[in-house]
Structure 1
């Protein structure tokens, strides 16, 4: 078991990542998540902001910001997610995304979440980070492991603003599987499990979308119940 004060080299982190296989068993069951997903609200929100109009092709950033400003976003951690904010600002405002906010600020991914997009972020909750091996989150924040941290955070970011309905459409078009290329360079695998959307990382661990379609001026956020980890070798 990792100690909080030990410095974990990225090559050793690969061993710790193997423990993430337990997340699939620890994660909530798809049937439970299906009951919690705000599907009717999400579908209503999805219908408005990302329709492909000529204006979007000419000025994607401006059109995205204008649509987000009028979007009806779900609350995250009991806090309103304002469409006039950036992804970084809204994540910082959510009380259940504090660990993610710390990690983003310490990594190269922080700039992407603050600048003009569009991007899509799969945002793990504090509870998701708590299920990592003991001390792993602190080790990622150690200065010696910043390259590994940046890769892990970038693995949660996909270029383009992708709504949950669009993920479902990609899954259908792919015969039941959609590969979402991340900024880290490796894809996430998206599948349907009932009404839930599952994301499988490079290590075979699954996470599920809990709160979809949080629209911001530079993209969209989907809150997930697990940490997505790329191969770190």
Structure 2
């Protein structure tokens, strides 16, 4: 009994230590030893994103080995889209469009904010970011904040950076990135 209790305490302390390096997101601890999907489902600020990832059939992909950098829009970011947009893209006939929108938020690399800021500086203040979905984002610095502008001129700010995952990193953003229209 005593040994079992110590093991549980040690596991809990170990998990807390793994989360201590990560910021809280949506009221939930984010664990570096869990993958992107395992962490995202716990964030109260990302319920819309999780619903869309499930609708697009991307759960298995984003649970995979990676590495992935995900620019994760909050629920509030989705409310900035025209009324009915989220409902429209979740219709079965729009699955391809939804998949492209979501994969325009994903880069096939593990890019922490200091690396992104370095690339922006190396490129004279504007770094092109190619996404899995075929979008090219313009990454810039606004003071200490990384901004991403899509091909339509929509800008999103990184509000929480460097949320480490077992298969990459999440950067929370306040806007939705859309493919070129």
Q: TM-score, normalised by structure 2?
A: 0.87
Deviation track 1:14-33 (CA, whole Å, cap 9, x = no partner) reads: xxxxxxxxxxxxxxxxxxxx
From the two aligned structures, give the one with the greater strand fraction. Answer: 2
Change (3 A) 1:215 1:168: same
Runs of 4+ in 1 over 3 A off after TM superposition: 68-71
Aligned twin of 1:48: none
Identify the structure with bigger relative contact order (alpha carbons < 8 Å, sequence gap 6+).
1
Whole-angstrom CA distance in 2 between matches of 1:95 and 1:113: 19
What are the residue-to-residue correspondences of 1:27-66 with 2, within 5 Å? none
Deviation track 1:12-53 (CA, whole Å, cap 9, x = no partner) reads: xxxxxxxxxxxxxxxxxxxxxxxxxxxxxxxxxxxxxxxxxx
Mapped pair 1:230 → 2:179:
yes
Aligned twin of 1:145: 94
Aligned twin of 2:65: 116
Change (3 A) 1:187 1:109: farther
What are the residue-to-residue correspondences of 1:180-195 with 2, within 5 Å? 180-195=129-144
What are the residue-to-residue correspondences of 1:160-179 with 2, within 5 Å? 160-179=109-128
Contact conserved, 2:25 with 2:43, CA < 8 A, in 1? yes
* Structure 2 unpaired stretches of 5+: 1-16
User: How large is the Cα RMSD of the aligned pairs?
Assistant: 1.5
Deviation track 1:169-200 (CA, whole Å, cap 9, x = no partner) reads: 00011111111110012211100111111100
Aligned twin of 1:218: 167
* Structure 1 unpaired stretches of 5+: 1-67
Deviation track 1:93-148 (CA, whole Å, cap 9, x = no partner) reads: 10110000011111143332111111100000000001111111111111111100
Q: TM-score, normalised by structure 1?
A: 0.68
